[in-house]
């Protein structure tokens, strides 16, 4: 199967390797560009854990700070894998969405044991900081990067759509799905999607991608990468 990946380039490499082991060919077509912020710092003093809701966040933190001793609470398996790749060894995995991650931390951590550090981008899904603060935790939420959406269809994506050989597109967030819809529409390539299947992390992601005439559209049973990739094996 020829699969188009819409993840940021920094997050696509591991996914490409995973898909290759499943027998798929991949084309990278990032819809977001991750831009680390300069001259930022992260206060880990007295913290008990680090909460991350994206692979980009843990990579940005890892580049800034070499301390790998604090436990990581990751939103899902892909983010957890990114943490392990950065050298963090105590990694706990949430249920694939921010609400499940919040529940895991509330159940297992003590508000009196120290602050939570939540490295993040300028925009995030959900409001982990507010939820955990309401639960009695002190939360530090440094903004470490910006995620800028592309405004034109990358050439690799245009060529893949033009070829007629593309079988599937993977979407991991509503933002990337909406961006893909916008740039494909701008390029007047909507009809190319009629022979392509859209595989989406969740129903909300599928809804964001629904303005294109896909051959089929499917959403994962659970909002995590493993569930999404299992869809490629068929019904």
Q: Work out the percent of the chain whose per-residue pLDDT is above 90.
A: 77
Other beta carbons within 10 angstroms of residue 20's beta carbon come to 11
Q: Is the pLDDT of residue 89 over 70?
A: yes
* Per-residue pLDDT reduced to its tens digit, 99-126: 999 999 999 999 999 999 999 999 877 7
* Per-residue pLDDT reduced to its tens digit, 126-147: 799 999 999 999 999 999 999 8
For the chain, the 3-state helix, strand and coil shares in percent, each to the nearest 5, are: 40, 20, 35
* Per-residue pLDDT reduced to its tens digit, 190-212: 999 999 999 999 899 999 999 99
Q: Are 52 and 118 in contact (CB under 8 A)?
A: yes
Determine the average pLDDT of the residues in 55-84: 92
**Rounded-to-integer distance, Cα 226 and Cα 142, Å:** 29
Domains of the chain by range and CATH?
A: 2-31+150-233 (3.40.50.10090), 35-147 (3.40.50.10090)
**Rounded-to-integer distance, Cα 219 and Cα 204, Å:** 9
pLDDT band at 9 (very low <50, low <70, confident <90, very high): confident
Helix (H, G, I), strand (E, B) or coil at 106: helix
The pLDDT assigned to 104 comes to 97
Contacts of residue 50, Cβ cutoff 8 Å, sequence gap at least 6: 44, 58, 61, 70, 71, 72, 73, 116, 117, 118, 119
Contacts of residue 14, Cβ cutoff 8 Å, sequence gap at least 6: 78, 81, 82, 85
Average pLDDT, the chain: 93
Q: Is the pLDDT of residue 235 over 70?
A: no
**Rounded-to-integer distance, Cα 104 and Cα 128, Å:** 12
Nearest CA-CA partner of 78 in 209, 187, 180, 228: 228
């Amino acid at each position: 199967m020829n699969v188009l990946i819409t993840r940021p380039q920094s997050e696509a490499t591991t996914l490409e390797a995973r898909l290759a082991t499943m027998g798929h060919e991949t084309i990278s077509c990032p819809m977001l560009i991750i831009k680390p912020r300069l001259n930022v710092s992260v206060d880990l003093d007295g913290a008990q854990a680090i909460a991350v809701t994206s692979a980009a966040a843990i990579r940005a933190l890892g580049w800034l700070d070499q301390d790998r001793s604090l436990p990581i609470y990751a939103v899902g398996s892909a983010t957890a894998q990114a943490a392990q790749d950065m050298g963090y060894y105590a990694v706990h995995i949430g249920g694939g969405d921010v609400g499940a991650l919040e529940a895991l931390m509330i159940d297992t951590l003590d508000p009196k044991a120290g602050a939570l550090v939540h490295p993040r981008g300028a925009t995030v899904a959900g409001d982990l900081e507010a939820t955990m603060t309401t639960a009695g935790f002190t939360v530090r939420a440094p903004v470490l990067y910006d995620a800028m959406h592309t405004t034109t269809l990358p050439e690799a994506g245009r060529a893949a759509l033009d070829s007629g050989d593309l079988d599937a597109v993977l979407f991991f967030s509503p933002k990337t799905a909406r961006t893909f819809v916008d740039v494909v529409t701008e390029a007047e390539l909507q009809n190319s999607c009629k022979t392509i299947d859209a595989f989406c992390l969740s129903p909300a992601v599928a809804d964001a991608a629904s303005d294109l005439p896909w051959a089929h559209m499917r959403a994962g049973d659970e909002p995590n990468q493993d569930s999404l990739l299992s869809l490629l094996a068929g019904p």
